[in-house]
Structure 1
């Protein structure tokens, strides 16, 4: 339908870009993911386009290892799309392997090095069981035997890797290697010097850092030079500008003080700190969709041919990069099937808002107190801000037109809230309650005042630790206590998981006192903020108790402390904190045992009960219970 309209609507000259067509291949289009790398390489060759080149962590290490006089075998693991096939191919070509041989349908490739023979398996799942068992048995022998002249480069998804080694023949060497692989994977280590093996988990790559490298490679690609020949690249009327080019300009570092980039990177960093890994393939998909997304394009992506139709029918606003970031050009079913959009939409950006933000969007034009915001955030952006569609929708909404038209404007508001999230300047974040546009209202604090401070070897504010302690106390006791300078351990008498716990067991000061303390530190292996409770000990087996503070837990505790917990937080977070309480209680009881503390006498039992004072703080009071024998 759209294509037929285009054919009769081409009055201006446009240039069909091979680069734009190629970029669509990275987007959310139907494909066989098992052939992803092969399809991309074939398209590069057919269209004669330079590949998207960006620095890949570990690649130089891999190549240098195999070029050294004493190379080690290598296992590459990670999730699908982390770049394992890419690394294998780059190693093959860097060591002199022919591209023609790589492109052949071979599962085990061989390459003669100076003193070794290298075997490369780019995907362990492609091997039949017989070949898989044989190659892993031989690899185990070479890993144990440093003098072996055979070395291996094997790639496999993390789940497949463990499963494959479990299926391998139980030789002495296989059993040893199986154990060391599990240890390296669990401890996030790359090697044990006692074995001739290097282990790389590509799922540990920093998502935000990789996004920046990939984005720069896409935005600065030579293929964009083709666009210079197109009328829609720089038309006399700015509203005729190609939306693809407009989105590209907004992603460049110099545009809008780089806020758009920084906000995307912040979201990706928060996703990672929430324990979710996004592979390289998902980041490429995100970038392609940001640039090309449009609900009326083929596969919901623009190409050069459809641009004149989009421009002439005033539909460029539907290409908004700000809602393409969340996949809003796609169907809801498609969004939920793509990991990067699913996790970015978990922030609720566009659906969450505040009265202040919506007043700017709806009434700002005529309200002198906020009109400066309206002009700055909407009027100054006629392309995606005060587009013709927005003006018409706003007018209908304010004049009380049909219900259907009002509902359409409410949908437009979602897109505008998303846009504001990515353009509000840093010096205006606090005044506009910027993070209220997400369900994680403490996300900015978590990122900037906790994570980044810890990365810079700075301490987290005592006020923040105190608020988290207050939230913990409310869950531990089941009461709206206001204690923030200590963590209170309480039970119901015998059951630590009770909803209401008024039997006082112990308290741990937040500020350091006689070896006891509550701090926030970076967890060593996964680089995530961790709340740590230190107990003063007389025995070495009483270790600090740790609670990993991912974004969701941090938000949950902060909301509980503030007394405003939304329904979007599940029972899971509550149970996590109660499990943390049980760990502390076990250590407290163990310490009391070592200290020989005895609360029961022959005739009575001393119990401490929590009592709430007028200031909302809980204090223990002693109660002696007589025992009848």
Structure 2
């Protein structure tokens, strides 16, 4: 990296930046050892000290909570979720809405607070169920029970708890009282099966929010905060100077790209959720702070306004790349200890690539056939793309200088290439046929998966190309053969209920499209919110087997359909598929028993059907009659 000369006479003298208080407040949300602002209990005090407006996030659940309070309906409320979902924030907002004060809320006199309302009613707020001892817990749960079951209308409870906490406390309370607590099973069913809660219990489950939508909302709220307007008065950006903090904020806001950064990060978060990895709002706020303020040379990896002049003088602005900060590159090894960065690291952005992308990055500046896309996709970004430092190291690498190809030189150049791949994931146009941004991740078919989820959620049919690819992948897993069929499924075995990976004995076939209650159907599971493959061999629920189609299983089937060996991508996915195959074989055996009357009269002959594959890849089942008598 080229070093900067000492500050020139026209360089402005260092002064307090107008937005420095806001930046320090935003930094307190970041992944630092002292990020207490991520806990609602400390937010009010931090806002008072910084003298800035809070980060306001839209919350449909908060609207519902306040509407319930305004309705005056009898009964109590349970605000549930996992750690970091904003339960305390929602509870505090309801407290303020009902007439409580911030000062009373902040008083540290225990987790139970009472608020007198009009008409003689009293709201009992429980900020944290885990802080109650057994006696206090039983008293609160007793009031909750009386309120929900209709025995108490004057006092009601607003309870905040994690899912497991409230269920455990209800179970323990019932055990101490020598009975099964009447609210435990209904609340558990409401959590796990999304059943209706008891009529007088207003249940607000914050964990049901779409994580992808939440990610977009967090990035929008942070990047559009009114405090950023003060940066227009700052002398450390403009007139040829680039403030990395303000540059990252603008890119998060969507300046020049229509919000690609927000949308594509939201896609990563949503795919993570559908794979079973939830990222609560607390983690998303930490991520947003890191994206804007991350720099490996800054204290704790997060910049303040005071550090910007030094970074500019060292010509180190490009090391603050928002595209690297998304994955915690500024944090070094510390990133692996943060759940949000572990989840995003699973996508391999920066490590995954294609020949086309690497050819563009390495040879694009000199190859006449690549100069136009290089100028458009790399050269146009003078801050984090084709910087003088990047072009200099690229030239040294191409010219074969020994220092650029061995030891630290090669590693430094590879880090730059990794950084450019990350940048391209967030900046490539979505309709570019030569460079597809999902190909820069380990989930190259994630875009098709999200399109499938959108179609199912809207009640539309999934695309035929996706259906065909899923059927081809399933057939290849079930048979172990390179079958190209997309019109039917072969339920095959090796002659027994084994998990043999090569199975040529066709037990039965199923149409690739559901008709008359028989065949394959891709549907939306109302409970999990994920896609589901359901295969029915005969009409009736008892003759079908289903399989949760998570993003990683979708990727597995898609790659197998395109020619990958099943075990080379994921042995875990392969085992899951073989377990699904075993379910179908059991259903096929049941169907055979029900149809056994059709086999009467065959005497001592047994007909087996073996799968044959033509040179074109088309498979078919060929009947072979075997004599079993004397």
- Tell whether the 8 Å contact from 1:514 to 1:536 is kept in structure 2 after alignment: no
Q: Deviations over 1:517-562 (max 9, x none)?
A: 322222223332222223332xx45254322211101110011111
- Tell whether the 8 Å contact from 2:125 to 2:158 is kept in structure 1 after alignment: yes
What is the CA-CA distance between 1:269 and the residue it aligns to?
Answer: 2.5
Map 1:440-589 to 2 at 5 A: 440-448=443-451, 450-537=452-539, 540-542=540-542, 544-565=544-565, 569-589=569-589
What is the CA-CA distance between 1:443 and the residue it aligns to?
Answer: 1.4
Residue aligning to 2:125: 120
For residues 526 and 514 of structure 2, the distance between their equivalents in structure 1, rounded to whole angstroms, comes to: 22
When the two structures are superposed, what TM-score results if normalisation uses the length of structure 1? 0.92
For residues 424 and 61 of structure 1, the distance between their equivalents in structure 2, rounded to whole angstroms, comes to: 39
What is the CA-CA distance between 1:456 and the residue it aligns to?
Answer: 3.3
For residues 611 and 313 of structure 1, the distance between their equivalents in structure 2, rounded to whole angstroms, comes to: 68
For residues 115 and 552 of structure 1, the distance between their equivalents in structure 2, rounded to whole angstroms, comes to: 55
Map 1:36-435 to 2 at 5 A: 36-105=39-108, 106-113=110-117, 114-145=119-150, 147-170=152-175, 171=177, 175-189=181-195, 191-193=197-199, 196-234=200-238, 236-237=239-240, 240-332=241-333, 334-401=334-401, 402=403, 403=406, 404-428=408-432, 430-435=433-438
SS at match of 1:532: strand
What is the CA-CA distance between 1:279 and the residue it aligns to?
Answer: 0.6
The verdict on how the C-alpha distance between 1:228 and 1:252 changes in structure 2, with shifts beyond 3 A counting, is: same
For residues 38 and 465 of structure 2, the distance between their equivalents in structure 1, rounded to whole angstroms, comes to: 52
Q: Deviations over 1:388-415 (max 9, x none)?
A: 3212211221121211312211110000
- Tell whether the 8 Å contact from 1:396 to 1:406 is kept in structure 2 after alignment: no
For residues 20 and 608 of structure 1, the distance between their equivalents in structure 2, rounded to whole angstroms, comes to: 70
SS at match of 2:607: strand
- Tell whether the 8 Å contact from 2:294 to 2:301 is kept in structure 1 after alignment: yes
Residue aligning to 2:3: none
Q: Deviations over 1:485-521 (max 9, x none)?
A: 1111112222242222222110001134554232222
Q: Deviations over 1:459-504 (max 9, x none)?
A: 1123321221111111112222222211111122222422222221
SS at match of 2:39: helix
SS at match of 1:143: helix
SS at match of 1:606: strand
- Tell whether the 8 Å contact from 2:215 to 2:265 is kept in structure 1 after alignment: no
For residues 613 and 593 of structure 1, the distance between their equivalents in structure 2, rounded to whole angstroms, comes to: 31
The verdict on how the C-alpha distance between 1:508 and 1:495 changes in structure 2, with shifts beyond 3 A counting, is: same
What is the CA-CA distance between 1:152 and the residue it aligns to?
Answer: 1.0
When the two structures are superposed, what TM-score results if normalisation uses the length of structure 2? 0.92
For residues 231 and 597 of structure 1, the distance between their equivalents in structure 2, rounded to whole angstroms, comes to: 89
What is the alpha-carbon root mean square deviation over aligned residues? Answer: 2.4
- Tell whether the 8 Å contact from 1:506 to 1:588 is kept in structure 2 after alignment: yes
- Tell whether the 8 Å contact from 1:144 to 1:173 is kept in structure 2 after alignment: no
For residues 29 and 568 of structure 2, the distance between their equivalents in structure 1, rounded to whole angstroms, comes to: 33
SS at match of 1:120: strand
- Tell whether the 8 Å contact from 2:428 to 2:436 is kept in structure 1 after alignment: no
- Tell whether the 8 Å contact from 2:75 to 2:150 is kept in structure 1 after alignment: no
Residue aligning to 1:622: 623
- Tell whether the 8 Å contact from 1:453 to 1:460 is kept in structure 2 after alignment: yes
- Tell whether the 8 Å contact from 2:311 to 2:317 is kept in structure 1 after alignment: yes
SS at match of 2:395: helix
SS at match of 2:181: helix
For residues 506 and 192 of structure 2, the distance between their equivalents in structure 1, rounded to whole angstroms, comes to: 37
- Tell whether the 8 Å contact from 1:65 to 1:72 is kept in structure 2 after alignment: no
For residues 546 and 118 of structure 1, the distance between their equivalents in structure 2, rounded to whole angstroms, comes to: 46
- Tell whether the 8 Å contact from 2:492 to 2:505 is kept in structure 1 after alignment: yes
Q: Deviations over 1:121-168 (max 9, x none)?
A: 111111123212332233123222265322111111222222222211
The unaligned stretches of length 5 or more in structure 2 are 1-5
**Greater mean deviation of Cα atoms: 490-499 or 40-49:** 490-499
Q: How many positions carry a matched residue from both structures?
A: 613
Q: Deviations over 1:41-63 (max 9, x none)?
A: 21101122111112212112212
For residues 172 and 150 of structure 1, the distance between their equivalents in structure 2, rounded to whole angstroms, comes to: 25
